[in-house]
Chains A and B, each alone.
Chain A
């Protein structure tokens, strides 16, 4: 693809040049987005390339974080002189060792059973860690300080951001290069037909273990970067929520495309940073988006983009913008209605509001979208309905129209590829 390189270069320039213009909060969010991207890309090496769905990747993220914290403490107390910039390597090493061990057992099983082994391993760590003072610092966890190195003192978020950026870009480049190597191809063959791997004379189990360990190595580096950024970690890093998040990121972004998980992780982390200040229901929106993507765009955002690129010579680009705009408009209607609904409930059911109701016996108006609403008036609840119903109709009509256009592009457009285009109402 000839647009790919200039696009990436442009993105890199933006990533280097733009953050100093923002405050520490945005920079911190960007650090998290970068780390989440690396974590998701590492996870997807296993899932998208190798076809192994892990429900316990937090384990390797976590041990990477703890390994780096131990090393940071050693540097801080002067036992060792490791340059701060090389600390994440310890996370990678811990991830590698953990992955070789866990992968040896987990890859003995396939499908759901593989997922369950990884889940059990992570849960095991999660329940042991708070009692394991020496390694995981008990319930309080471990903390340390970033030490200065070569004139950088890594005191500001911006310095941490650049350090993270360098590591993440390097790791992603390595991961991408990996997919182009013969072994990367073998990994894909593992997903598509592991029987055949055996016939070709490779040892399927060993190959799986190696892929697992590579994935966990990079997950460990991501965890290490997280530990460096936060300067602390405790056992909750092993929780199912972390494992779940990376699954969400990867599949919303699209596990079939290399850049999919990176897109998903960046969008979710940054969007979460913006929205979580305004609403407690952010995780609910995240879940809704995930389920909608699973239902209507099973290959995720990356899959949608890829389908457009693959069909670029066949699609009637001149006729597409209108139905796409209509679809987007309908989607906006529906989203507005849903957001209105959820936010209204959040307001009215909040402790503060309920306390007022209990004290005065009245249901006062609440403010949303720059207007005030009476929770007991039917008008309030008709508004989302008036938005939602036409929204659904518009989206369905536009989706059918787009579907037709995609189907009309010659017989080799598979249904599964055209189907994603019928979504978008989220």
Chain B
């Protein structure tokens, strides 16, 4: 029971964090058709900027200002780099963001070193939210989940209830028509790109204080975020949320389970044979939990490439 509840809580909160980063990515893909390899780098930059700002001023200023800086970087990337190569096609845009991800990682290594930096939450957030089965549950995890939830709700409200949201959705669905109706579609693209980057930066600023802040964080999270976006359906916000929660829950449960395929074979009396074969059959779920998201992504890509909620194919 304890395992069930803590794993669920941890899974949901990790899922919310994944959603914070993947929301921008899925919006950008839905609109511009660009799979942004540098997106997770924005998450990393958010964490590092927040670290610097919080050591100069305080944690809250870091949390507020870092996403803004990251958003501005996103806008500059879109305006001066992506737009330049737009005419060469999507593959080229993808390659450019791929190179940028490379540069961001190396710049972080240059300025902050190869090892994790000491980015911590402030002491007044470092307390137990509640006590569960005799162990304290950190408030900060709840805080991460809360920030993500607030972001999801405001994003949804903005997209569905405001004029800006209508223009954005229009530009996503039918860019030419939106242009013809007098909306500045390139400006919308730039704004969405910047906003997506800022959201990822916010995710980094919030999560970096809890999880380690190191130069590998972009690469580690980056592939998982791709999985989320693909499974949820490229371009679908609700799909991303579902997929994030799924993967969050899955990875938090898998760590505690030592089931293996050989165990499954026991049901049909082939368990001993499977154990004698070894290899894939005897690996426990906990040891291959890292591989599961990719398996899921493969299955989705092959069976239903539009993802859970995606409509475009």
Residues on A lying within 8 angstroms of B by beta carbon are: 53, 105, 108-109, 111-113, 115-117, 119-121, 123-124, 127-128, 131-135, 240, 244, 247-248, 251, 280-281, 283-284, 286-288, 290-291, 294-295, 298, 342, 345-346, 349, 351, 416
User: Is B111 in contact with A345, judged by CB distance below 8 angstroms?
Assistant: yes
- Chain B min CB distance to A55 (Å): 8
Contact A342 B110 (CB under 8 A): yes
B14 at the A interface (CB under 8 A): no
Chain A residue at minimal CB-CB distance from B279: A134
Question: Contact: A346 with B110, CB < 8 Å?
Answer: yes
Task: Report yes or no: A116 in contact with B84, Cβ–Cβ below 8 A.
Answer: no
Main SS of chain B's interface residues?
helix
Bound complex: CA of A295 vs CA of B230, how far in Å?
28
Given A124-B295, A132-B283, A240-B219, answer yes or no on A283-B102 (Cβ-Cβ < 8 Å). Answer: yes
How many A-B residue contacts, CB cutoff 8 Å?
115
Within the assembled complex, what's the spacing in Å between the Cα atoms of A298 and B230? 28
Cα distance A221–B230 in the bound complex, in angstroms: 32
A116/B106 contact (C-beta < 8 A), A294-B99, A298-B85, A349-B111 known: no
Apart from A117-B302, A124-B294: 15 A-B pairs, beta carbons within 8 A: A105-B302, A109-B301, A117-B301, A120-B298, A121-B294, A121-B298, A128-B288, A248-B99, A286-B102, A287-B100, A287-B102, A287-B103, A288-B103, A291-B100, A345-B110
The 10 closest A-B pairs by CB, nearest first: A284-B106, A287-B102, A127-B290, A127-B291, A287-B103, A291-B99, A290-B99, A124-B294, A123-B294, A120-B294
- B residues engaging A (CB < 8 A)? 33, 35, 81, 84-85, 88, 90-92, 94-96, 98-100, 102-103, 106-107, 109-111, 113, 219, 223, 226-227, 230, 278-280, 283, 287-288, 290-291, 294-295, 297-298, 301-302, 305
CA distance A287 to B37 in the complex (A): 13
Nearest-CB residue, chain B, relative to A251: B95
Give me 6 A-to-B residue pairs in the complex whose CB atoms sit less than 8 angstroms apart, sorted by A's number: A109-B305, A111-B91, A120-B301, A128-B291, A287-B100, A288-B103
Looking at chain A's contact residues, the main secondary structure is helix
Shortest A105–chain B CB gap in Å is 6
Within 8 Å CB of A280, what residues of B?
Answer: 109-110
Contacts of B109 in A (CB 8 A): 280, 284
Contact residues in B for A349 (Cβ distance below 8 Å) = 110-111, 113
Chain B hits for A294, CB < 8 A: 85, 92, 95-96, 99
Structural contact, B278 and A247, CB atoms closer than 8 A? no
- In contact, B294 and A127 (Cβ under 8 angstroms): yes
- Contact residue among A113, A131, A133 (Cβ-Cβ distance under 8 Å from B305): A113
Q: Flag if B35 contacts A112 (CB, 8 Å).
A: yes
User: What A residues does B279 contact at CB under 8 A?
Assistant: 132, 134-135
CB atoms of A123 and B103 under 8 A apart: no
Q: Is the CB of B288 within 8 A of A131?
A: yes
CB contacts (< 8 Å) of B290 on chain A: these are 127
Residues in B neighbouring A287, C-beta threshold 8 A? 99-100, 102-103, 106
Residues of the B chain whose Cβ atoms lie less than 8 Å from the Cβ of A121: 294, 298
What are the residues of chain A within 8 A of B35 when measuring CB–CB?
112, 115-116
